[in-house]
Structures are given as structure tokens and as C-alpha cells.
Amino acid sequence: MIELDRRLFLKSAALIGCSAAAHPLMTSMTFASVPSDNRLVVIILRGAMDGLDVIQPYGDPMLAKLRQQISTGPDNGALDLDGFYALHPKLQPLMPLWQKGELAFAHAVSTPYRDKRSHFDGQDLLEAGTGNDLPVDNQVGGWLNRLLQSMPQTSAETAYAVGVEQMRILSGQAAHLSWAPRASLTLSPQAQMLLEHVYHDDPLFRDAARDAVRIGSETEMGERAQGPTGDAVALGNFAANRLNGESRIAAFSIAGWDTHANQSQTLGRSLDRLAAAILALRDGLGQNWQRTTVLAMTEFGRTVRENGSAGTDHGTGGAMLMAGGAIRGGRAFGDWPGLGDGQLYADRDLMPTRDIRAYAAWAMRGLFGTDREMLERSIFPGLDLGGDPKMLA
């Protein structure tokens, strides 16, 4: 009996990393060189952000005709950007970034998703990065995962899904890690060994436990941010911490954009969180901020007209925000389609003038040198990359 126990003990001990050389992931993590010095952060804004309110095209005279209670332009506190567009007043904390050329946006963008306007399908498609012609299911995985598969010299540490929820944008064959900024795990060595044994034949539990033990030991709890933006700050801080190490890609999400009613209040709270997360990234990244591109993307835009409850309903074209020291900011990207008769999509939504994936693709091309064929065939199958918007500095 004793001999049997000892044999199993040794097997288990190897599994929990007493012997790092025997541990495939540990090995690659320890010895791999990082694939690039550039960093990409993708923030998924769940619930369909109203691009027309966040970046208000007040220079289009139709805007004031379609909306009276929201998106009311610089006369009501929005921050003029270039004489045509104005920033929602709640994004005031990001104005210094705009002035430094570290904040930009692309308007009238969308995924290929059309017409049914379901959040869940819309988000699935945004994170899958596919066109409408492919069935979206769990097998497809996310486009950041396919980016990882295309990069040399990656390890699981290269990409992080940050936060309590799972990020489909990173799901797929390439290994990546996930962690919530406020988790912690302390086990006695014996309990850890026994648990590894119990989880050994169940890869889902085995891998998650191994990562939990390791990440927990590497990241301190840190000062706990309080208040309504506390969670967003924690997400930004943790992502920055990892990106300052060996990670180069991070993804997290901020929910709360489904503003069917009382939009000025609900949108304001979400914008507070978005601004807080971006500033936490900038502050946490220090010098590395100069090599960082942040893309904030949402599943679709919202109706151009206000609805009956001072809100907006699900639409089509929207806006994408970009931030970071690596971008050529302080400017608007994309063609403005207009809001007049015949210029709307289905007579209700902002007409998309460019596929949102094209911007993400050009960002990856600039940051990681991903080639065009890979982007158009594999990472975003069926995408026409189009001309270079020159969004990176």
C-alpha cells in the first residue's frame, strides 16, 4: 500500500509543478521570448453602445431633428472635437488623451450582422469575427484566439481574458489565461497535491486549477478601488499588470449599454466605467502605454431616433473608440453617411460605411505584423481589408 501511495504521490507532485521541467506549459512560459513589444487591449461593450450619443455628429443638422433629449451637442455640455463631432460630456476625463493624440474613434462601423438586432447574436458575431455566412457556435472560437494561433512564440501567458465572465473573443485552440482581479487561492501543499490528483482526468478542472494557483501567487491583491467605477479600475489595473509582464493581448468587457429608457443616466454610468478602465490602463502601463492600442467595440449601434422613453432601440451602425500611445489619435476615422432621408439603414439606423473588423485587422497588422492573407482568410474570414486607415502612429 505504501509503495502505491508513494508512486501516485510522485505523479501528482509533478503535475502541480514541483518539477517545472516536467510541466509543458510552465516550460513554454518560462523560456519563450515574447512575440512583440506591442500590446493590444480589446474592450467589449455589451448591450450595444449608442455611438451617436457617445460621439455626437452635431455638425449634421439632422441630428437635432431626430433627437431632442439626448445627443444635444456642445450647447449642452458635449465636448467639441473637430467642429463636426462632439464627445459625450461624461468622457471629459479622456479629453487630455484626445489632445495628446491618444484617443480616436471610427464612426458608422458595424460587424456584418444585420436585421435581427439580437444582443446575443450580435456579440457572438463580434467576438467570433466571422461573417453571417458561418454558423456562430462554440466551435468557431474568437478572433483574438485565431490571432494568437497566427503569432510565433506565444504561450498561454500571451493573452488574458480578464474578469469573472468568460470571453468568447479569446476562446479557441490557442492556450490563453483568464483571471479576475479580485480572486485569490491559498492551499496547503498537501491539499494542492490531492486536488491535482482528483482533477487529473478532467482537463477543464485540471487546467483551471493549475492556472488559479499560479496566477494567484503572481499577482498581489493590491489596493482595492472603491465606488461605482471600482470594478472597471480593477480590470484596467490587472490587465496593465499582466501586459507589463509577458502578456501582449488582454480582453475584458464592460456591460450596461442597453439604453432603452432614460439614456442620459444609464449611458452616463457606463461611460464613467469605460473612462475609468482606460485611465487605469494608461496609469498602470506607464512607459508601455506608448506601445499599446485599446479598441472598445460594441455589437451594434442604436436607432437614430429617440424612442418614446428618452432612450434608443437596437440599431446597426455604431462607433468604435480607440485609445493608447500607439495610435494616431485626436482624429475621426471613417466616412460619415449622413442622417437624412434615404441615408439611413432600413430607415431607422445609422448606415455602416465600414466593417468594424477592418479597423481591428489594421491594428493587428500594425502591432504584430499579421499578414493580409491571414487576416482576410483566417482571423476574419471573408473580410475585405480595404485601404489602410493609418490609425497607428
Partner 1 sequence: MTFGFPELAAIRLGYGLSPLMPPPKDAAAVLAAVDTAGPGPEAVTTDKAREMSLRLADLTKARKDGGEAEKLEYQVYNRELSRMLVRDLQRRMVRAVDDPVGFGERLVQFWADHFTVAPMSSGNQPLAMAFVDEAIRPHVNGRFEDMFFAADTHPMMLLYLNQNSSRGPNSPFAKRRPEKDFGLNENLAREAMELHSLGVGAPYTQDDVRQLAELLTGLGYTSREGFTFKPQMAEPGAETVLGKSYGGQRRGGLQDIQAAFRDIARRPETAQFVSRKLAVHFISDDPSDALVQAMAATWRDTGGDLPQVYRVMVTHADLASDMRKKVRQPFDLLVSGYRALGITGDDLMALDFPQLPSQTFDTMNRMGQPWSRQTGPDGWPEHADAWIAPQMLAARINWSLQMPSRMLKRQLPDPREFLQTALGGTHSEQLAWAVPKAESEVEGVALVLASTDFNRR
Name the minimum Å distance from CB 136 to partner 1: 10
**Candidate ranges 76-84, 97-105, 162-170, 353-361; the one touching partner 1 (CB under 8 A):** 162-170
178 binds partner 1 per the rule CB under 8 A: yes
Q: Kindly tell me which of 200 and 365 has the beta carbon lying closer to partner 1.
A: 200
- Of 13, 79, 187, 225, the one binding partner 1 by CB under 8 A: 187
Q: Euclidean distance between the first and final Cα of the chain, in Å?
A: 66
Q: Kindly tell me which of 137 and 373 has the beta carbon lying closer to partner 1.
A: 137
The 3-state secondary structure of the chain reads CHHHHHHHHHHHHHHCCCCHHHCHHHHHHHHCCCCCCCEEEEEEEECCCCHHHHEECCCCCHHHHHCCCCCCCHHHCCEECCCCCEECHHHHHHHHHHHHCCEEEEEEEECCCCCCCCHHHHHHHHHHCCCCCCCCCCCCCCHHHHHHHHCCCCCHHHEEEECCCCCHHHCCCCCCEEECCCCCCCCCHHHHHHHHHHHCCCHHHHHHHHHHHHHHHHCCCCCCCCCCCHHHHHHHHHHHHHHHCCCCEEEEEEECCCCCCCHHHHHHHHHHHHHHHHHHHHHHHHHHHHHEEEEEEECCCEECCCCCCCCCCECCCEEEEEECCCECCCCEECCCCCCCCCCCECCCECCCCEEHHHHHHHHHHHHHCCCHHHHHHHHCCCCCCCCCCCCEC
Under a CB-based contact definition with an 8 Å cutoff, are residues 155 and 246 in contact? yes
- Of 20, 21, 183, 221, the one binding partner 1 by CB under 8 A: 183
Name the minimum Å distance from CB 176 to partner 1: 11
134 binds partner 1 per the rule CB under 8 A: no
**Grid cell of 50 as nine digits:** 449608442
- Of 27, 76, 138, 265, the one binding partner 1 by CB under 8 A: 138
212 binds partner 1 per the rule CB under 8 A: yes
184 binds partner 1 per the rule CB under 8 A: yes
Applying the rule CB under 8 A, the residues between 4 and 63 that interact with partner 1 are 5, 8, 46-47
**Candidate ranges 100-108, 109-117, 355-363, 374-382; the one touching partner 1 (CB under 8 A):** 109-117
Q: What whole-number distance in Å separates Cα of residue 217 and Cα of residue 143?
A: 29
- Of 77, 261, 269, 286, the one binding partner 1 by CB under 8 A: 261
- Of 1, 2, 83, 204, the one binding partner 1 by CB under 8 A: 204
- Of 53, 60, 127, 258, the one binding partner 1 by CB under 8 A: 258
Q: Kindly tell me which of 84 and 205 has the beta carbon lying closer to partner 1.
A: 205
295-334 footprint of partner 1 as x/- string (CB under 8 A): ----------xxxxx-x-xx--------------------
What is the length of the chain? 393
Name the minimum Å distance from CB 187 to partner 1: 7
211 binds partner 1 per the rule CB under 8 A: yes
Q: Kindly tell me which of 351 and 383 has the beta carbon lying closer to partner 1.
A: 351
Q: Are strands 249-255 and 354-355 parallel, antiparallel or unpaired?
A: unpaired
255 binds partner 1 per the rule CB under 8 A: yes
Q: Kindly tell me which of 99 and 217 has the beta carbon lying closer to partner 1.
A: 217
Residues near partner 1, by CB under 8 A: 5, 8, 46-47, 68, 115-121, 138, 161, 164-166, 171, 177-180, 182-185, 187-188, 190-191, 194-195, 197-202, 204-205, 208-209, 211-212, 215-216, 255, 258, 260-261, 305-309, 311, 313-314, 346
